[in-house]
Amino acid sequence: MAISKSQMNMQNILYPPMGIAHITKDISDLFRHQIEGKQQIIIRSSSQPNSNPHIGSITTIMCCFALAEYLQNKFKIECLVIYDLLENSPGKKFDIDNNTYQLSLSDLTDKEGEYSYEKYKGNFSFIFEVLKKKTKIDYLLRQYHDFQLLPIVRRTGIKFVHMQHDLNPLISPSENKLHIRFKCPRCQLTDKTSRHTRILEKSGNFILFESYCPNHGSYNVQLTENNKEFIDFNTPLRDILQGVLSIEEDFHTGSLSIMLDGGDWSGVWALRVFCQGLLALGYPNIPNRIFAPIITDWSGAKFSKSLYVGSDAYKYLPPEYVDFPVFNTKYGDRGIDFLYGEVTDWVADTKKFFRNYSMEYISQRIKLSLD
């Protein structure tokens, strides 16, 4: 049988070791020195459910389960995946009086009256259920609403305010500003830029903020360790909070946390915002963190949900690559089995895990295996 050009390309693909792969033969070796006495391994990740999952989102989720399955088999310790679905993410933005306001995903409804967050959550839940059955790894899907109510999160939020002069150059080098946001209690509109947010009082474990709604005027919000008012921390603060939660919960429960995110969170962000942010808060030990391979488009850019939502950015691609329900309709169980097999292959070989993959690579693999 003649070998096609695409088959020749796939046969000749190279996996040069990148960075940590030069010194790590097995991904479990990164955690072996920490495993003694641990009761559980927790893989932590998150995403914005502002669209149906695409190939990049799916492979990152699968990396969480594949790593959990791999480490559970290696160390004979129970693993759990905790995944935050961030319904506080921007759903719609408004420019009013030269300022940007937003409604979050949880505050928007579509024409059928369904919350935008709920609209996409079902497809994420479906993937998690399939992976749980496949791997026997349990998971927790957590909303941001529940995350921000955790006492350690709110205590750290208070600490952000007291230490903002030290933190701002790290987490907001251009604006030098702390972005903590609040919903208008009447219409849920939020000052996205925190332009009109002021700190009226800060004393010990009590912070009193004032924010502004262009429709309903000024309103106050308290932040204490145990109060229930909704506090929206922006992305850099939320990332640091995930690190603090990993450190604190590991200390109190005897677990070993591993934060796993897409590779776009690595590099300068990981060092400047995450590591230096935790050090500024007084945490000398940085939690474990690794990054799943990025799926890139033809130009080498990250395959991005936010770019194709409401646009034709990926119109040149088959729809199954950007919309999981279409992928699932076309390929069904064998499609999920193929993708998970691809990801487990990455986890089993550090040369394959610590690198990125183009959509061309993924599409050729799919064509050769499924079409």
Q: Which among 262, 287, 264 is positioned nearest to 274, based on CA atoms?
A: 287
Nearest to residue 66, comparing CAs of 55, 53, 79?
79
Torsion of CA 147, 149, 151, 156, to 10 degrees: 70
* pLDDT tens by residue, 118-171: 889 999 999 999 999 999 999 999 999 999 999 999 999 999 999 999 999 999
| Res 5 pLDDT > 60 | no
CA 269 to centroid of chain Cα atoms: 14
Task: Report CA dihedral (138, 324, 343, 59) to the nearest 10 degrees.
Answer: -80
CATH 3.40.50 fits 5-146+241-369, yes or no: yes
The two tokens of residue 116 are 């935008």
The pLDDT-based confidence of 306 (bands split at 50, 70, 90) is: low
Mean pLDDT across 17-23: 92
Which pLDDT band holds residue 3 (cuts at 50, 70, 90)? very low
Instruction: Please tell me the distance from the alpha carbon of residue 124 to that of residue 117, in angstroms, as a whole number.
Output: 11
Dist CA 284 CA 101 (whole Å): 37
Q: Residue 94: how many CA atoms within 13 Å on its side-chain side?
A: 13
Q: How far apart are CA 344 and CA 1, in angstroms?
A: 29
Distances (CA, A) of 246 to 239, 240, 293, 349: 11, 10, 22, 26
Average pLDDT over residues 211-238: 97
Q: What is the mean pLDDT of the chain?
A: 92
Closest CA relative to residue 255, chosen from 29, 97, 41 = 41
Q: How far is CA 100 from CA 78, 91, 103, in A?
A: 45, 13, 11
For the stretch 67-106, pLDDT in tens is 999 999 999 999 999 999 999 999 999 999 999 999 999 9
* Closest C-alpha to 289, from 271, 311, 315, 316: 271
Listed in sequence order, the residues at least 6 apart from 177 whose beta carbon sits closer than 8 Å to its beta carbon are: 168, 194
Residue spans of the domains in the chain: they are: 5-146+241-369
Query: What is the distance between the alpha carbons of residues 111 and 156, in angstroms, rounded to a whole number?
Result: 39
Q: What is the Cα–Cα distance from 211 to 183, expressed in whole angstroms?
A: 9
How confident is the model over 274-286, as pLDDT tens digits? 999 999 999 999 9
Summarize pLDDT for 332-371 with one digit per residue, the tens: 999 999 999 999 999 999 999 999 999 999 999 998 898 8
Residue 314 has φ and ψ, to the nearest 5°, of -115, 30
SS3 letters across the chain: CCCCHHHHHHHCCCCCCCHHHHCCCCHHHHCHHHCCCCCEEEEEEEECCCCCCCHHHHHHHHHHHHHHHHHHHHHCCCEEEEEEECCCCEEEEEEECCEEEEEEHHHCECCCCCEHHHHHHHHHHHHHHHHHHHHCCEEEEEEHHHHHCCHHHHHHHHHHHHCHHHHHHHHCCCCCCCCEECECCCCCCEECCCCCCEEEEEECCEEEEEEEECCCEEEEEEECCCCCCCCEECHHHHHHHHHHHHHHHHHHHCEEEEEEEEHHHCCHHHHHHHHHHHHHCCCCCCCEEEEECCEECCCCCECCHHHHCCCCCCCCCCHHHCCHHHHHHHHHHHHHHHHHHHHHHHHCCHHHHCCCEEHHHHHHHHHHHCC
